[in-house]
Amino acid sequence: MWSATATRTVDDSAHAPTLWTVSDTEIVSDRDPSSGLALHRRPRTDFDTYIGPATHLADERARLTALTWEHFDARMMGATIGAELSGIDLTVDLSQAVIDDLAAALAAYKVIFFRGQAFTSARHVAFARNFGELEVHPFIPSNTDQPELVRFEKDADTTGYENQWHHDVTWREAPSKAAVLRAVQVPEVGGDTLFADMYAAYDVLHPDTKADLDDLEAIHDFVQAFGRNVPEDRKAEMRQRYPEATHPAVCTHEVTGRRYLYLNRTFVNRFVGRTREESVAQLDRICRMSDTPEYQCRFTWEPDSVAFWDNRAVQHLASSDYWPEIRVMERASIIGERPRR
């Protein structure tokens, strides 16, 4: 074993630094601390968390890195989620071949990003409509001449509360299947958006946990996020128009056929057959899967950047670290089908 003796040299002159030589430390191991450990993630016995390599991502990562595209180039951003596409202009009318390629890239990467796309609000809507009909959000104002756009305007007085993992509008009977978000004005630093792969989060679960979740349904409710902004004289009407929605805790993607987690703290009130109090602990434990860095990618915005994500396969959050700076974003959401087990 290698060892050395440490000495400290002190210069008596005023304000002189303390100088250190090699420390008096004997190195007793010749192996990496991870050597010999299992080649998979495993739970800590003392904390409710997992450590270890995300080896279950390897095949998907290899598949995605091997993809090539006819109408654009792609640079992956996460192990299994996110790619920045270049060599394509979204501000012009697109051929069906390009639209099909973009849809395939979205299904593969789960979220795709673009730079330098100088959309008008009308062009933003036109691009998103290539992939389906668009919804109008009843609880977030458009503030544009396009009712299909919602506009998020944050400043010193209206702060960001989107910093919790969620799928959008799961309180709908048929939540949106995808969304297109454009940066209008962004702070110099901060305001990134993070995305998490819900296929990867489901795949790693213990078989017993999967068996429990596969039979579970969750009740989603708009009131938790938007109820405070509904005028008192409209609440009964809105409740009738948007009743609580029940969706499976784990769904099957209609395009890929893969299973994904479909739970979030923003809109889920409780599990079917359980009270709110009985549901919270399990809901929180499952939702924490989104916190796993290996399942994430992070996008730093510039003006006219665009993110296009699959609202089923991924969750997202916006980092609220830019107050009191201004952050203005516009989003179009594409109507989806009712989630299925």
Q: Indicate which residues carry an active-site annotation.
A: 166, 168, 316, 331
Angstrom distance (rounded) from CA 239 to CA 244: 8
Angstrom distance (rounded) from CA 334 to CA 340: 18
Residue 68 burial class via C-beta count within 10 angstroms: exposed 0-12, middle 13-18, buried 19 and up:
exposed
* Tokens of residue 188, six digits: 């110099």
The sign of the torsion formed by the CA atoms of 21, 23, 24, 27 equals: negative
Write the DSSP symbol of residue 92: S
Please count the other Cβ atoms lying within 10 Å of the Cβ belonging to residue 9. Answer: 10
* Residue 84, strand partner residues: 75, 113
Return the SS3 of 112.
Answer: strand
Q: What is the DSSP string of 301-334?
A: --TT-EEEEETTTEEEEE----TTS-EEEEEEEE
Angstrom distance (rounded) from CA 309 to CA 312: 9
